[in-house]
Structure 1
Amino acid sequence: MAAEGRGPRLLIVPAPERCLGWALRAANGRPLGVGVRTYRSEEELAEAVRVLLIERAALRCSVAQSEGRQWVWSAYLPARSTRRMAAEPAPVARSARGYLRRDQCQAGAEGFLSGLQWVGQELRRGGRDGRWPL
């Protein structure tokens, strides 16, 4: 178990064209996952992360091999539409790196989900007052 206040952190990362993204890092700095979208403001980013943390129990991960034959995972939130022809859900997060084996990739996805759960619980307990970096 991690020491008080020590655990995964959500970080703001700069993106092209003056945008922002996010990354989830383990307490030791190892990347656990990254957001797929970029945002034009810190407020927009904070709202997207807030929704991600609230809906984290609904996240579903899929594992696939990339063109480079490395294993990667993507995390999806369910589509929020009642239309019959709703678009396929887009990923909200992905692995921060490729893996050599499928089982390593699946473990990476599980580590991401656990890290996100930890961050959500810390915020719920009032850790860091909701400020970045989390």
Structure 2
Amino acid sequence: MAAERRGPRLLIVPAADRCVSWALRAANGRPLGMGVRTYRSEAELAEAVRELIIERAALRCSLGQSEGRQWVWSAYLPVRSTRRAASEPSPVARSARGYLRRDQCQAGVEGFLAGLQFVGQELRRGGHWPL
């Protein structure tokens, strides 16, 4: 029997109005990031997560301070439409918590990206979609 690999995992998170979202957790349960959007079904959620994992190299992350003066990050995929209304990118993921210092927030971004990388590698090894 092969040993089970431990590492980051994606979880389905219930949201309002019978919708669902996702969260990325480290092997020790520490939150690495979470989805911004909610989805009407697990199938819709799985498709969005597939896109995120496949397109993770195109993610652009920005850091800023919240109203409570904590550092937070957001991750954006490039806009794929020529429609004028789609010119402003909207975040697909964000930090699961606030950080006291900018360098801690940057480390949080790096942990999130490494977690996505791990999930992507597991899928290439023949693993199942995490949702």
**What's the TM-score, normalizing by structure 1?**
0.91
**Share of identical aligned residues, percent?**
83
How far apart in 2 are the matches of 1:72 and 1:55?
22
How far apart, CA to CA, are the structure 2 residues paired with 1:70 and 1:130?
33
Point out 4+ residue stretches in structure 1 off by more than 4 angstroms: 83-86
CA RMSD of aligned residues (A): 1.5
Structure 2 match to 1:78: 78
**CA shift for structure 1 position 131:** 4.8
Whether the 8 Å contact between 2:33 and 2:96 is mirrored in structure 1 is yes
Secondary structure of residue in 2 paired with 1:121 = helix
Output the amino acid matched with 1:8. P
Q: Which residue identity is paired with 1:121?
A: Q
State how many pairs are aligned.
129
Task: Show structure 2 runs of 5+ residues with no match.
Answer: none
| Aligned residue type for 2:73 | W
Alignment of 1:95 with 2:79, yes or no, is: no
1:45-93 deviation per Cα after TM superposition (whole angstroms, max 9, x unaligned):
0000000011000001000000000000000001112457742100000
Q: For residues 86 and 130 of structure 1, do their structure 2 counterparts lie closer, same or farther at Cα, with a shift above 3 Å needed?
A: closer
Report what 2:63 is aligned to: 63
Structure-2 residue corresponding to 1:124: 124
